């Protein structure tokens, strides 16, 4: 089967596209596609530009002059134009544009034209005008603000000038501004969403290694991960504390921070397990926090974790429920020892000594705990930026306080 026949046999675009790869509905000016490595961003961008140049209905009004902007001219050529998912690869032979590298110009048989630009040279965008643009890997651009600004002045042709931005996110000011603008439509894609088109070895080795880490959430899940100013923890601090396994543990506790209510929208029940190693360091082992659980439900979950880790005791905050908290746990398993703790100081004051353990290199995370780590890096003097209760963090604080900052209990060596 020749190339033309093979291409014709493939699902047409956008019928063969995932929802995140299709142009969003609505009156948007910027389509921002945030995605992980290999998530299909380039394919989506190339198909959209192809649709614009050929006047295909899914892409919107036909565009006659299109800007292709990348980190460097080499990136525009090697990825956006000549790459395996680039523009030249997405056309049938009879409709394929011709690429003239010396002029940085892509020309279609019907007269449509695309010009290549580099973020290293914002001034090259001063003068040309377009009715559409595709910006690739904006978060890596050398001069993002200046390049993007110059492009906006050039988007002045046609009935409906639009632009598509495909990028793996990084917390740069321009990207955060685009996310906040009302004229921006956002779609998101994870590397895992495109697993059928990626090497099995890549999925097995790279994805499994980085899943849940800050780098993995950014580069694989396409999340915008950033620190909050004034927070007790930073992403860099937690990445430095990450290990694959714990050594022999001399003490293990499961900490529970019960919610005041189990109704919909109520706070979660914080359930975090941690151990003290033979090396004297603390190791966070599990986060099974969850919202919407009844008292019997969170008690069962805590008891199951206690037995799975062969823990020494459950540490439960009783501010919200008093003696009832211990009673509910004992109803789930009366043999489980329960240590009741009561908060007499504010959350910040209780969390500060625990944060100091991390800063001193005395606390480790065995694997990744994205939801817990989000709370840790968002917890500042006024609490979480969302205004919600830091339930996972509260449970972590109780666990590490019991292990590292309070008089020790019985010790027995075990390996998990």
Give the Cβ contact number of residue 283 at 10 Å: 24
From the list 272, 274, 273, 269, the residue with the least C-alpha distance to 257 is 269
Give the 3-state secondary structure of residue 378: helix
Give the Cβ contact number of residue 248 at 10 Å: 13
Identify the bridge partners of residue 155 per DSSP, sorted by sequence position. Answer: 130
Q: Which backbone phi and psi does 136 adopt, to 5 degrees?
A: -110, 140
Average per-residue pLDDT in the chain? 88
Which residues contact residue 250 at a Cβ distance below 8 angstroms, ignoring those fewer than 6 apart?
275, 276, 277, 278, 411, 412, 413
| Tens of pLDDT, residues 343-375 | 888 899 999 999 999 999 999 999 888 889 989
| Tens of pLDDT, residues 30-46 | 999 998 888 899 999 99
> In this model, does residue 1 exceed pLDDT 70?
no
From the list 354, 331, 347, 348, the residue with the least C-alpha distance to 400 is 354
- Give residue 221's pLDDT: 77
Asked if 47 and 23 touch (Cβ cutoff 8 Å), the reply is no
pTM higher than 0.85: no
Q: How far apart are CA 40 and CA 179, in angstroms?
A: 20
Q: Which DSSP category does 89 fall into?
A: G
| Tens of pLDDT, residues 122-133 | 999 999 999 999
Beta pairing class for 270-277 and 282-287: antiparallel
Strand runs labelled E in 127-180: 132-136, 162-167
Asked if 394 and 224 touch (Cβ cutoff 8 Å), the reply is no
| Tens of pLDDT, residues 377-401 | 989 888 888 788 899 999 999 999 9
From the list 316, 357, 341, 345, the residue with the least C-alpha distance to 232 is 357
| 225 or 244, higher pLDDT | 244
């Amino acid at each position: 089967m020749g190339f033309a026949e093979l291409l014709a046999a493939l699902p047409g675009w956008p019928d063969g596209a995932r929802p995140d790869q299709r142009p969003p509905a609505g009156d948007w000016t910027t389509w921002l596609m945030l995605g992980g490595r290999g998530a299909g961003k380039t394919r989506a961008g190339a198909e959209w530009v192809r649709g614009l140049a050929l006047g295909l209905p899914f892409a919107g009004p036909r565009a006659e002059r299109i800007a292709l902007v990348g980190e460097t001219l080499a990136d525009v050529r090697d990825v956006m134009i000549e790459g395996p998912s680039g523009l030249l690869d997405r056309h049938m032979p009879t409709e394929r544009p011709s690429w003239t590298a010396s002029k940085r110009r892509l020309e279609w048989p019907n007269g449509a034209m695309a010009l290549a630009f580099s973020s290293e040279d914002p001034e090259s965008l001063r003068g040309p005008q377009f009715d559409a643009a595709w910006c690739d890997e904006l978060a890596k651009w050398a001069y993002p603000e200046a390049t993007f600004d110059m492009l906006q002045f050039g988007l002045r042709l046609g009935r409906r000038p639009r632009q598509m931005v495909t990028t793996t996110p990084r917390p740069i000011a321009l990207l955060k501004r685009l996310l906040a603008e009302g004229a921006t439509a956002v779609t998101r894609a994870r590397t895992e969403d495109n697993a059928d088109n990626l090497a099995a070895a890549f999925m097995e080795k790279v994805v499994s290694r980085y899943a849940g880490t800050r780098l993995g959430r950014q580069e694989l899940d396409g999340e915008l991960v950033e620190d909050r100013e004034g927070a007790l923890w930073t992403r860099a601090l937690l990445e430095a504390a990450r290990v694959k396994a714990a050594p022999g543990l001399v003490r293990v506790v499961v900490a529970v921070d019960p919610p005041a209510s189990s109704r919909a929208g109520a706070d979660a029940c914080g359930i975090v397990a941690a151990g003290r190693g033979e090396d004297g360091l603390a190791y966070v082992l599990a986060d099974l926090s969850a919202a919407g659980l009844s008292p019997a439900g969170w008690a069962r979950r805590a008891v199951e974790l206690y037995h799975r880790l062969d823990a020494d005791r459950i540490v439960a905050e009783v501010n919200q429920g008093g003696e009832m908290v211990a009673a509910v746990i004992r109803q789930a398993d009366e043999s489980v020892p329960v240590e009741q703790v009561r908060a007499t100081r504010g959350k910040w004051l209780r969390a500060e000594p625990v944060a100091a353990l991390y800063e001193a290199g005395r606390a480790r995370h065995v694997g990744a705990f994205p939801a817990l780590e989000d709370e840790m890096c968002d917890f500042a003097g006024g609490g979480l930026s969302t205004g919600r209760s830091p339930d996972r963090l509260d449970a972590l604080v109780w666990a590490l306080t019991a292990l590292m900052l309070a008089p020790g209990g019985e010790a027995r060596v075990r390996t998990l």
